[in-house]
Amino acid sequence: MALPYGLPQRCLQAVAACWLISYVLSFVTGGCSLVLFSYLAVVALPAVAIYSFMNVDPGTKAVLVTGCDSGFGHALALHLHDLGFVVFAGCLMKDKGADSVKQLDDAGKNTGRLITVQMNVTSDAEVAAAVETVRANLPPSIKGLWAVVNNAGFSTFGEMEWVPINVYEMVASINLFGLIRVTKGFLPLIREAQGRVVNVASMLGRTGAYGRSPYCATKFGVEAVSDCLRMEMKKFNVDVAVIEPGNFIAGTSLYNADVVKAQSKKMWDGMTDEIRNAYGQEYFDQKTELMLSYTTAGVSDISPVVNAMTDAVIRVNPRCRYQPMALYELFKISVATHLPEYVYDAMFL
């Protein structure tokens, strides 16, 4: 049997907490810190292990995942279905007959537990229709909706002066307001099940990055909305978890060379002569090449993200934040969030 997601990290955190508490108690009482640490660890480590193995029964739960046309959402929908959940897969391209949607439909034919739903998260009408589709197709034995995984997203790049305001609005309409729209629509069903909302943010919701302000702004917003919602939902026993993936561009369809080139051309053509002259073609082309290099960078295996999402859905007591990312990326956001800006700038710019 595979170890639960994050068990080693939880154990290390428990050990660190036991050491800190034993040190403080030994200082106050004059007792032996090693003895105190041993007593605390004997209690804490088994408790952490038991907690980590406490899962819900997938056969009694239904889940909605948005952005299932490709990437994380597509893989998660199939994985949750394999675990036994009833899965509603929100797909932007269902009405276009996309091959990826047909793959999901085929996977659910024999079980009836994987149902694709047309969903453009920027459309009030489509989200409202999706809510009614879920209500109509929930098995009688399942009460409410156990989880909504807000995975749908879009990204672009460019320095602030290069990116038209309507592009900022478009990215926000999907990544932030689309997430809010879906969450608001399904919260009554989530409250009924006392389930959870799982929001996909990014490491770029914790630290900015060159040329990514349209994307970063929305992911910082997702972090803030999620924190507020977590506080608001406690009275209903509803959990809110945030997934903060690192760089998995190579394993998703978020970016590819054709998309970067098309976005780059559209940006350059849309600039005023003053902005073009200020930055210059050579500098602009260098930054486009930098973004092109990102399309094959990072981790191609998206299973760490899918496993984190799964843990947030299946765990009785999910974590507030999951950070499936490389150690370098974890170190980078730790520096960004805990040290002065000049330290971050000196190390990473």
Q: Is 215 a catalytic residue?
A: yes
Q: Are residues 118 and 215 in the same domain?
A: yes
CA nearest 279: which of 270, 268, 289?
268
Domain co-membership, 226 together with 335: yes
Partners of 320 in beta bridges = none
Query: Which residue from 34, 7, 12 is spatially nearest to 21, judged by alpha carbons?
Result: 34
306 in Cβ contact with 312 (< 8 Å): no
Do 316 and 294 reside in the same domain of the chain? Answer: yes
pLDDT tens string, the chain, 349 residues long: the values are 567 888 888 899 999 999 999 999 998 888 888 999 999 999 999 999 888 889 999 999 999 999 999 999 999 999 999 999 999 999 999 999 999 999 999 999 999 999 999 999 999 999 999 999 999 999 999 999 999 999 999 999 999 999 999 999 999 999 999 999 999 999 999 999 999 999 999 999 999 999 999 999 999 999 999 999 999 999 999 999 999 999 998 888 677 888 899 999 999 999 999 999 999 999 999 999 999 988 887 788 999 999 999 999 999 999 999 999 999 999 999 999 999 999 999 999 8
> 189 and 168, same structural domain?
yes
* Structural domain harbouring 237: 58-348
CATH of the domain at 110: 3.40.50.720
| Count of domains for the chain | 2
3-state helix, strand, coil in the chain (%, to 5): 60, 10, 30
- Which candidate, 18, 7, 114, places its Cα nearest to that of 58? 114
DSSP 266-313: HHHHHS-HHHHHHH-HHHHHHHHHHHHHHTT-S-S--HHHHHHHHHHH
| 95 in the same domain as 18 | no
Same domain (yes/no): 68, 83 = yes
* Residue showing tokens 């085929």: 106
Q: Computed over its alpha carbons, how large is the radius of gyration of the chain?
A: 22
| Residues 63, 96 within the same domain | yes
CB-CB contact of 71 with 253 (8 Å): yes
**Same domain (yes/no): 240, 151:** yes
Could you tell me if residue 2 is inside a domain? Answer: no
List pLDDT tens digits, range 34-87: 999 999 999 999 999 888 889 999 999 999 999 999 999 999 999 999 999 999
pTM: 0.92
Asked if 149 and 162 sit in the same domain, the reply is yes
Catalytic residue among 5, 215, 255, 344: 215
| Angstrom distance (rounded) from CA 250 to CA 93 | 22
CB 287 within 8 A of CB 180: no
